[in-house]
């Protein structure tokens, strides 16, 4: 198992950040492949990926441009609410013994 994982890590190509949008980051690999990941912990971690193909932000692919704009709008409109929490002082001792 370790040798298989080691081979995968050695064969892994580094990712290049292509773009950053509020809520997501776009990466691509030299030689093909890309990933679109969320930068917001309240959203799914991986929004899209492909082990092959290219990621281009040019106007060559209007369908991809549409999807990218749509997912950005959905992420902004449908964010789970942020919750503010306050510590409960009853859960912690008022003093701590010296070391």
Residues 32-64 pLDDT 10s: 889 999 988 878 899 998 988 888 777 678 888
Rounded distance, CA 84 to CA 27, Å?
32
Q: Using only the alpha carbons of the chain, give its radius of gyration.
A: 21
At residue 30, the 3 state secondary structure works out as coil
| pLDDT top residue among 71 and 79 | 71
Per domain, the residue ranges of the chain are 12-77
pLDDT in tens, 5-41: 556 555 667 888 999 988 889 999 888 889 999 988 8
Q: What is the CATH number of domain 12-77?
A: 3.90.70.50
Give the pair of three-digit tokens for residue 66: 């549409």
Backbone angle region of 23, left / alpha / beta, with phi > 0 → left and psi within -120 to 50 → alpha = left
């Amino acid at each position: 198992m370790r040798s298989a994982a080691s081979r995968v890590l050695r064969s892994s190509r580094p990712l290049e950040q292509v773009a950053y949008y509020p809520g997501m980051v776009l990466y691509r690999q030299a030689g093909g492949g890309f990933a679109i990941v969320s930068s917001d912990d309240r959203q799914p971690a991986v929004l899209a990926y492909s082990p092959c193909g290219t990621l281009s932000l040019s106007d060559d692919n209007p369908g991809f441009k549409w999807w990218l704009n749509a997912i950005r709008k959905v992420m902004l409109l449908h964010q789970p609410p942020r919750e503010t929490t306050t510590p409960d002082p009853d859960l912690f001792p008022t003093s701590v013994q010296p070391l």
